[in-house]
Structure 1
Amino acid sequence: MALRLLQHRSADGARSVIAARGDTAAFVPGVTSIRELALRAIAEGKGLADVVAECGSGAAVDLGEELTAGRLISPIDHEDPAHVLLSGTGLTHLGSAEGRDKMHREAAASDAKTDSMRMFLEGLEGGKPSHGETGQQPEWFYKGDGSQLVAPGAALTMPAFAQDGGEEPELAGIYIIGPDGTPFRLGLCLANEFSDHVTERHNYLWLAHSKLRQAALGPELLVGDLPEHVKGASRILRDGKTLWEKPFLSGEANMSHSFANLEAHHFKYDLFRRPGDVHVHFYGTATLSFSDGVRTEEGDVFEIEAAPFTLPLRNPLARADKAIVTVKAL
């Protein structure tokens, strides 16, 4: 059974790590963060699961109870949020071009191939190169630093100026950069990448603006081999009732790019290999309620679940108070 790691914060603020396999979960003695475990594994030249095993097993934990109580926090963080980079790649899944292309066709009112469709087709042709080779580069975007990550159960808050707050159910890779600049993958998390699709639909060159939003990670970090096939469900609850629901697929069998190709094109840049930094990289999705005409409202709850993760990711939608920023001359 695959190892899953979680971060816990008690009512008094004390932090700890939980290790889970199947239905069994227990605290990892003497450890306060997953990042601490990862740095230890790198320093000792061991795998993350091996280091966890060497720590032994503490008191048993009921994960569902801790999630309900709000004591499970994001499975990765840093003392300085500026050293956590959130980024992502789009048009990476076999069905991901349809919704994006529809938005851009409506804007362009043309029968010609959109830039999005051309990028998707290029990825379909060259996104899974042979081992050791670099394939077609994907679309890439920046989401912010670690201050943009919200905990499981916390509100995803769109800015006051946002035109939309929409879910993006997907997988996210969690990485840490070793002392010599080598990127290490800790594992995968369930994620809600959260974007402003109305802004993006207006003009695809506003994609960068639409992505500068918060994001949420599911509480579990899945350690080990990358999954070929992940099937889950994404839904929106309004007033306690299901407003919209749809299955979503991920994993390399459902993607036009391999994980290795997405990683190669992200970490090829020197500035993304700064020792000690943490990277959260969203791999993309093909399932959006926005593509089905859903318009979210404040108070709606996004819910995402998928095996082999055992806990759902739930986040209500909120809007920030209006803030006027004034630049002062010195």
Structure 2
Amino acid sequence: MSLRLLQHRASDGTRSVILADCDVAHFLEGVARTTDLARRAIAAGTSLAQEARACPVGASVDLAAEFAAGSLLAPVDHEDPAHLALTGTGLTHLGSAEGRDKMHREAAAAAHQTDSMRMFLEGLEGGKPAGRGVGQQPEWFYKGDGSQLVGPGEPLEMPAFAQDGGEEPELAGIYLIGPDGTPFRLGFALANEFSDHVTERHNYLWLAHSKLRRAALGPELLIGETPTDIRGTSRIMRDGAVLWEKPFLTGEDNMSHSLANLEHHHFKYELFRRPGDVHVHFFGTATLSFSDAVRTQVGDVFEIEAAPFALPCRNPLTQTAGDASAPLKVRVL
């Protein structure tokens, strides 16, 4: 099993970082955050894996027990949540156009291809440019800052105005911007990008509204390698039983865009190369329960698992209380 980093918080609030190598996991002494380790590696000109292996090793860890106890955090965060960006790309996976096209076809009510299908085909043709060329730009969206990052076991909360809260099983790239503005990819995490597909189906131009800001990461940061073929399972549990379950594919072998092309079209904006910032970028999916006419409800539990990750991305669905019909008041000064 691959090398992974996890963030841990003890009952007294003390934070630690765990290095998991195959089936063995240990605390790393003197490291409180994944980003602390990453900054050391950038300064030393080494890799994150090398820096982690160079740390003094502390006590061994039972990852399954710590996960069950709720002691594991999202594998990356930032001391100032405003300096963490949640963003993503869509229509990036082979087969991803099918569900989206079906979602938008009735709304389009025309014989020509939907915008979704056109964008997918353009990515299929130009998303993996040869050599060092720049490929077709993908669909892109912004979700929020670090305040919207949901950790292992924490609830994914729908706003009161949401019409749906559906899972999106994905791989997320984790990045830290170096002192000179260079983006450094730290690794990958399992993710649930979480969206309101009813709102999106109504009108494709409501895509930005359909991104419900919150998004979840599994507890592990995969480091030291770039996975090209990941095969996992996405499921929804209701009242302790499986309501829906389906395999999903991710990794570059299963995508219409290369990771390098997706990264270029995100980080080409100088705004996203601000030194010290953290980025969590969702690479998209081709598998949605909504495409199978599943309607989620409060109390459902989303569970996404895939090797080489040992632990799932698991989160219950909740909803904010409130009257969605009451307009938000803005005061004039």
User: Above 0.5 in TM-score?
Assistant: yes
Give the residue type in structure 2 aligned to 1:154.
E
SS in 2 for 1:140: strand
The equivalent residue for 2:315 is 315
Match of 1:292 in 2: 292
Partner residue in 2 for 1:328: 331
CA distance in 1, matches of 2:314, 2:295: 18
Q: Give 2:96's aligned residue.
A: 96
SS in 2 for 1:147: helix
Q: TM-score, normalised on structure 2?
A: 0.98
**Pairwise mapping of residues 25-64 of structure 1 onto structure 2 (< 5 A)?**
25-64=25-64
1:127 matched to which residue of 2? Answer: 127
Aligned partner of 2:109 in structure 1 is 109
Q: TM-score, normalised by structure 1?
A: 0.99
**1:139-171 Cα shifts (integer Å, max 9, x gaps):** 000000000011110100010000000000010
- Unmatched segments (≥5 aa) in structure 1: none
Could you report, residue by residue, the CA deviation over 1:206-264 in whole angstroms, capped at 9, with x for unpaired residues?
00000132100000000022111000000000000000000000011100000000001
Question: 1:53 Cα shift?
Answer: 1.2
Contact preservation (8 Å) 1:142, 1:212: no
Q: Say whether residues 1:188 and 2:191 are aligned partners.
A: no
Contact 1:193 1:216 in 2 (8 A): yes
Report the CA distance between 1:103 and its aligned residue.
0.9
| SS, match of residue 93 in structure 1 | coil
Counterpart of 1:219 in 2: which secondary structure?
coil
Identity of aligned residues (%): 73
- The corresponding residue for 1:9 is 9
State the shift of 1:2 in Å.
2.3
Q: Is 2:152–2:216's contact at 8 Å kept on the other side of the alignment?
A: yes
Q: Deviations over 1:14-33 (max 9, x none)?
A: 00000001110000011000
Conservation of the 8 A alpha-carbon contact between 1:105 and 1:111: no
Q: Does 1:71 align with 2:74?
A: no
**Is 2:174 aligned against 1:174?**
yes
The secondary structure found in structure 2 opposite 1:19 is strand
Kindly indicate whether the alpha-carbon contact (under 8 Å) linking 1:7 and 1:72 is maintained by their aligned counterparts in 2.
yes
Contact 2:235 2:245 in 1 (8 A): yes
**How many residues are treated as equivalent by the alignment?**
330
Asked if residue 151 in structure 1 is aligned to residue 151 in structure 2, the reply is yes
| Separation of aligned partners in 2, 1:16 and 1:131 | 41
- 1:304–1:314 contact (8 Å) kept in structure 2: yes
- Please list, as runs of the form range in 1=range in 2, the aligned pairs for 1:156-305 lying within 5 A after superposition: 156-305=156-305
Task: State the 1:130 CA deviation.
Answer: 1.6
CA contact (8 A) 2:158 2:212 kept: no
How much is the aligned-residue C-alpha RMSD, in angstroms?
Answer: 0.8
Write the deviation string for residues 11-55 of structure 1: whole angstroms up to 9, x where unpaired.
100000000011100000110000100011111111001111111
1:132 positional shift: 1.4
